[in-house]
Amino acid sequence: MSLPSLKIFIPLLFLILVPLISGDGELPPQWCVVDVQTPDDVLIGATNWACGGDGGADCSMIQENQPCYFPNTPQNHASYAFNSYFQKFKHQGASCYFNGAAIVTDLDPSYGNCHFESLP
């Protein structure tokens, strides 16, 4: 990269990254949720993996009679499971990908008594 290009690139990079960091030096909260274009059968399989022994997500809140059970849809349950997995393992290199079934958002998906964690 030439020197004139660097003189433009570095300030632009600074302008992009600085707003992402809050006053205490931490990134703003993020959640991992379903990409709404994902078919239900893919979501069900990914949720089973995330909630199973291989995934390690805490899926207790999407069980019947728990705060995140309703709406009882593959999208709702998958979003909760994906986020649980992502929050638990993101500092160990886990991503919010789930074979293209999930995306990261800065919009809190919590609703009613159903709280989606966001860990720093």
| Structural domain total, the chain | 1
- Per-residue pLDDT tens for 87-109? 999 999 999 999 999 999 999 99
Q: Mean pLDDT lowest for which of 8-17, 30-39, 67-76, 103-112? A: 8-17
Domain for residue 70, yes or no? Answer: yes
Among residues 30, 41, 47, which one has the least CA distance to residue 87?
30
| Whether residue 23 has pLDDT greater than 70 | no
For residues 79 and 109, the answer to whether their CB atoms sit within 8 Å is: yes
Domain for residue 12, yes or no? Answer: no
Domain span at residue 34 reads: 25-120
Domain for residue 111, yes or no? Answer: yes
Look up the pTM and report it. 0.79
Domain for residue 73, yes or no? Answer: yes
CB-based contacts of 68, cutoff 8 Å, min separation 6: 61, 62, 76, 77, 80, 114
Domain for residue 1, yes or no? Answer: no
Domain for residue 18, yes or no? Answer: no
Domain for residue 4, yes or no? Answer: no
| Whether residue 26 has pLDDT greater than 90 | no
Domain for residue 10, yes or no? Answer: no
pLDDT at 7: 58
| Whether residue 66 has pLDDT greater than 80 | yes
User: What average pLDDT does the chain have?
Assistant: 88
| Whether residue 17 has pLDDT greater than 70 | no
In the chain, the percentage of residues whose pLDDT exceeds 90 is 76
